Amino acid sequence: MDTPTSKPTSWLNRMRSHRLTTTFALLGTLSAGILVGSVITHGVSGKEQAPNSSDAKPLVIPAAATLSNGFSQIAKQVGPAVVNINTESLPKQQQQGRRGRRAIPVPRGQAPGGDDDDQQNDMQDFFNRFFGGQGGGDDDGDGNPMGGERRALGSGFIVDPRGYIITNNHVVDKADRIYVRLSTDPDNPTDPGRPAKVIGTDKDTDIAVIKIEPDKTLPTIKLGNSEGAQVGDWVLAIGSPFGLSQTVSAGIVSAKNRSIDEAPGPGGVASNQFQRFIQTDAAINPGNSGGPLVDMAGEVIGMNTAIYTQSMGSQGVGFAMPSNIIANVYNMLIGPEHKVVRGSIGISFQPSTSSAVGRMYGFKNGVIVSTITPSGGAAKAGIQPGDVIVSIDGHEIKDGDDLVNDISGRKVGSSVKLGYLRDGKQASANVVIGDRAKTYADLAGNNDDNDNNGPQESDAGMAKLGITVSAIPPQIAQKTGISHGVIITSTKPGTFADDIGLIKGQIITEINKKPVTDEASYRTIVNSLKSKDDVVFVVHSPLQKDRGNTYIGGTLP
């Protein structure tokens, strides 16, 4: 009976033993698989992280090559003579009595705005002279800034190693402080540059000459003959667009003798009639104004002046004043009078007429006279409105440009033979050339009884000293007890008078121990002053009576 009961127990034990064996076998197989997979995966990962690059060749920097276009050589040649110009305009109400001011340079990337005085016409809806003109902002109606200081930016180029620089008039116009930075000057944002003074300006051609006092001989750039430039010639524009000095852009001469249409001013005379530009597609932007346009000989054939734009940026149409005009104006501005004198015969004319007018009055080429200035040479020679001028000294003229270009270049006081038509009949007259500035004033109705027999007070005092004066008003004479002398009506910042402390309202009674009794004696003394002279003024305050003499002096620059 014992045997049957013991068999089931043995079978159960065997089953339990077999299941454990199977389980251990499965676990061992699984562990081995995991181990093998890990090894294989590790090997694959290692290969992806460290690829074999033994067949790669290292890059080699080649020797510097000289390219064939020559642009870089020209840029190196003329670049040192191109300068950066910063200007500062002070608020009008803060100009009196300020001394020791120092400008802050124009921030990099700042694009100065256009001049508020720019004339508006059909083309100037898009034509913006904003390269280096005085920055935007309100003014007092006379072009004087109101509010904070205004700064502007432009370019220029050195033509004389003693520091004479050519730029645009609109770059320095109305500026109280002018600073120049040379290409070799360190890039110091706290230093605006070297102070410069204006030698002379010509608004008709938008040309100005300024000067710095160099501590060494300066590099210069050579002027070329703009008549030799041809449409299609390569040119380089160099300047400081957006304050980025020594920027070079390349293009071609795309047109010549380009004029910008402008409505005539008083007397039918357009203020831009002497502006005939070289057109270029070299990139020109704010800050380029006054910089040179250089040909492939490294010579200046123009000065970058303006652009035609719809986006306030370069669109491939820029205008440069030709170098031949620049040279003629420069030579007059550095002369003793520091101004441009142009000839005139005292007429105004219509810039263009229809063919019907020519058929009616019997001429094909010529200029029909609109008005006559009574004091001008044409009036004195018998020329009348309606006459058609067809020749000058026997040479036929095509239009008003021919007439103006010929007459304006002649010496004041010389005479010229004009051929003209009157009622279809030929006639001629000898006409004496007059001063265009005076003639223009007559046409505009601004002439007064004071002839230019001698320097006026504004010319004498402003040019040398930086002040204007007038007779002492009776109420001030009564209050101060001073009846002889002159009173200062304005002092320009940055000038000799401002530096030594002369201010508006002071009464001048002596200069260099010579009594100043009136405006005439003042002009006589000032006209005799020369550079490097010591100048001492005896001045009085208009606010107090019997305050005594105050002595203010300095050495003329």
β-strands 207-212, 534-540: how paired? unpaired
Residues 126 and 188 in one domain: yes
Catalytic residue chosen out of the listed positions 155, 170, 176, 240: 170
Q: Span 355-371, mean pLDDT?
A: 83
Same domain, 491 and 427: no
* Same domain flag for 304 and 166: yes
End position of a domain, from candidates 300, 333, 366:
333
Q: Quick check: is 434 in a domain?
A: yes
pLDDT score for 429: 94
pLDDT tens for residues 524-555? 999 999 888 889 998 988 766 656 778 898 99
Say if residue 131 is in the same domain as residue 208: yes
Catalytic residue among 176, 206, 281, 387: 206
Over the stretch 416-465, which tens digit does the pLDDT of each residue have? 999 999 988 999 999 999 988 777 665 554 444 434 333 344 456 888 89
Which pLDDT belongs to residue 362?
82
DSSP state of 93: G
Residue 362 resides in a domain: yes
Whether 416 is covered by a domain: the verdict is yes
Distance of alpha carbon 522 from alpha carbon 457, whole angstroms: 8
- The reply to whether 11 falls in a domain is no
In this structure, are 172 and 311 located in the same domain?
A: yes
Q: Per residue in 315-336, pLDDT tens?
A: 678 899 999 999 999 999 999 8
Residue 300 shares a structural domain with residue 205: yes
Q: Are residues 201 and 226 in the same domain?
A: yes
Task: Confirm whether 51 is domain-assigned.
Answer: no
Whether 371 and 249 map to the same domain: the answer is no
Query: If we measure between CA atoms, which residue out of 463, 448, 469 comes closest to residue 495?
Result: 463
* CATH (domain of 236): 2.40.10.120
- Residue pair 495/471 in contact by the 8 Å Cβ criterion: no
pLDDT of res. 158: 96
pLDDT per residue as tens digits for the range 216-225: 899 999 999 9
Residue 349: band (very low, low, confident or very high) from pLDDT cuts 50, 70, 90: confident
Which domain range does residue 391 map to?
343-444
Task: Specify whether 254 is located in the same domain as 151.
Answer: yes
The CATH number linked to 423 is: 2.30.42.10
Residue 109: is its pLDDT beyond 90? no
Per-residue three-class SS string for 360-424: HHCCCCCEEEEEECCCCHHHHCCCCCCCEEEEECCEECCCHHHHHHHHHCCCCCCEEEEEEEECC
Query: How confident is the prediction for the chain on average, in pLDDT?
Result: 77
pTM for the whole structure = 0.60
Cβ contact 254:279 at 8 Å? yes
Whether residues 80 and 223 share a domain: the answer is yes
Q: Compute the average pLDDT of residues 466-475.
A: 88
At which of 333, 360, 384 does a domain end?
333
Residue 445, judged by CB atoms within 10 A of its CB (0-12, 13-18, 19+), counts as exposed
Q: In sequence order, which ranges of 494-534 are alpha helices (DSSP H)?
A: 496-500, 519-527
Catalytic residue chosen out of the listed positions 226, 240, 249, 289? 289
Task: Establish if 67 belongs to a structural domain.
Answer: no
Whether 135 and 280 map to the same domain: the answer is yes
Look up 31 and say whether it is catalytic. Answer: no
Q: Whole-angstrom Cα distance, residue 68 to residue 308?
A: 32
Is residue 410 pLDDT above 80, yes or no?
yes
C-beta of residue 249 within 8 angstroms of C-beta of residue 292: no
pLDDT at 322: 93
Q: What percent of the chain has pLDDT over 70?
A: 70
Active site residue 215: no
In 3D, which of 487, 486, 536, 488 has the Cα closest to residue 511?
536
Number of domains present in the structure of the chain: 3
**Cα distance between residue 239 and residue 115, in whole Å:** 20
- Within this chain, do residues 157 and 132 fall inside the same structural domain, yes or no? yes
Is 136 part of any domain?
yes
Handedness of CA 468, 336, 202, 391 (dihedral sign): positive
Is residue 6 part of the annotated active site? The answer reads: no
Q: Give the separation between CA 201 and CA 210, rounded to whole angstroms.
A: 9
Task: Please identify, among 333, 360, 395, the residue that sits at the C-terminal boundary of a domain.
Answer: 333
pLDDT at 363 over 90: no
Residue 112 lies in a domain: yes
